Amino acid sequence: MAPAAAVGLVLLPLASRRWVRHAIPLALLLLLYLCAWSFRALSGCRSGTPPCLPEGTSPVQVPRQSGPLEAPEGEEPRCVGPQGVVGRVMWPFRASLDPEGDVALSQYLAGWRALVRFLTPLGSIFAFATGEAFAKVTALEARVHGPEAAHYSSLAAMVAWERREGLLERPGIAPRDAASSSGSRILLLLHRALRWSQLCLHRVATGALGGPDAGAQCSDAYRTSLGPHHPWLVRQAARLAFLAFPGRDRWLELACPGAGEAEARAALLRAAGTLEDVFNRTQGLLAERGLLQLA
């Protein structure tokens, strides 16, 4: 979880309502970016500010990780405990993995709420993304705790019921408004955002000193996970905003306040591993039911 334009934004008369709805927060996002960029340019990117990308530098491609994620050997980082910053994200997501191979929706959504709380302090790049994720979490929670709650206990139960009741959208056909979306479609959108969050956390945790900075790595993760599903305007806003992305030190400080770098990196790596487990489980369930192209 962003989840995430003041450059001559002109909306064509035939622009869809969805574009209009996204344009205003994106304009604010780019305005925040441009203000931050201007300040940093005037200050010469002094120490204490987020790392600058040299002129002409483009985000470096980082291969996707293969195989399970493993944290360095040693004691369990304190911040991955149930009361730790990272632990509050990990534990509900971990609890959502049903022993029978399903995903429990109430725990999945609790994990998303914790993830949004963790990402929000990282700055304007997440303001739009986390706002969108929070709205989707709230919409799906209304179903999980609503009159039809019995059918929304898990991913498999939800999809089966919505298909039986004819509630699933046709692939590629967006609903007229978010409130009328099926729960399955909302979950698919959250699922894609979770992949970006997982890749971003993993790359921040494992990035080498002197290698690509956190902004370049998370920008690349965005291009490979969320970017293909976003319209051009959103992709351009994200591309620019990543240039003012918080540095790795800020991520580690938020993940494990007061801990050393090695402990904070280990905590983020464990969190990324948990998110990957949840993503893989959800990906398999959606693929089996032919729903990966629902949105």
For range 223-234, the mean pLDDT: 79
**How far separated are the first and last CA of the chain, in Å rounded?**
18
Compute the C-alpha angle 77/78/83, nearest 5°.
135
Identity of the residue numbered 201:
L
Q: Which residues pair with 154 in a beta bridge?
A: 104
- CB contact set of 221 (below 8 Å; sequence gap of 6+): 62, 196, 199, 200, 203
State which of 49-53, 102-106, 126-130 shows the largest mean pLDDT.
102-106
Matching residue, tokens 């319209």: 231
Which domains can be identified in the chain, with CATH numbers?
A: 17-52+77-288 (1.10.3520.10)
Q: Are 177 and 194 in contact (CB under 8 A)?
A: no
The reported pTM is 0.72
Identity of the residue numbered 74:
G
Is residue 3 scored above 50 in pLDDT?
A: no
pLDDT in tens, 198-219: 998 998 898 876 667 777 778 8
pLDDT in tens, 147-183: 999 999 999 999 999 999 999 988 777 777 766 899 9
Other beta carbons within 10 Å of 103: 22
State which of 14-23, 129-138, 250-259 shows the largest mean pLDDT.
250-259
* Predicted local distance difference test score (pLDDT) of residue 271: 94
Taking all residues of the chain, what is their mean pLDDT, rounded to a whole number? 74
Is residue 49 scored above 70 in pLDDT?
A: no
Is residue 54 scored above 90 in pLDDT?
A: no
Q: Tokens in use for 162?
A: 């919505």
Q: From CA 259, how far away is CA 64, in angstroms rounded?
A: 28
Other beta carbons within 10 Å of 161: 16
